[in-house]
Amino acid sequence: MTKWNLRPHRKPTGGKLNRLGKKTRSDRRPEPLFTRLGELVRKTKRSIGGAVSYVTLSTNMANVTDPSTGKTKKVRILTVVESPSNPNFIRRNIITRGSTVNTEAGKARVTSRPSRSGVVNAVLVEQKK
């Protein structure tokens, strides 16, 4: 079902607000596209003004930076360990900003927004022994 970015119909006091105009196509909200764990699948999306943005639908690689050395390397993501945005995302292996993932290098916290930026950048939290 389509979601809309519209003004509320009621004032904070409870009074009714009159509508300023009819619904237009630009008032629609896009459906959320979550980045899942799996083989790399990207989708191009047209933005306002003809700009193109890339949406990562699934990925299994991350650019992990080690804060002690400052070096970045590309490593494989194994599982999603923790997700502050939604606890059900752990079970579904959905990668969001702030979620902790288990990689070949160790546990890392995701710093980018994979569903918007097209890549998964992370900072190493706990090194693998």
Domain membership flag for residue 22: no
State the average pLDDT over residues 87-96. 95
What's the pLDDT score for residue 117?
Answer: 85
Q: How many domains is the chain built from?
A: 1
Domain membership flag for residue 58: yes
Scan for tokens 């599982």, then name that residue: 79
- Note the pLDDT tens digit of each residue in 47-88: 889 999 888 999 999 999 999 999 999 999 999 999 999 999
Distances (CA, A) of 91 to 42, 80, 81, 82: 22, 8, 9, 10
Domain membership flag for residue 23: no
Here the CATH number for the domain that contains residue 40 is 3.10.290.70
pTM beyond 0.85: no
What's the pLDDT score for residue 124?
Answer: 96
Average pLDDT over the chain, rounded to an integer: 92
Which region holds residue 48: left if phi is over 0, alpha if psi is between -120 and 50, else beta? beta
Three-state secondary-structure class, residue 3: strand
Domain membership flag for residue 103: yes
- Give the range of the structural domain holding residue 83, as residue numbers without chain letter: 36-127
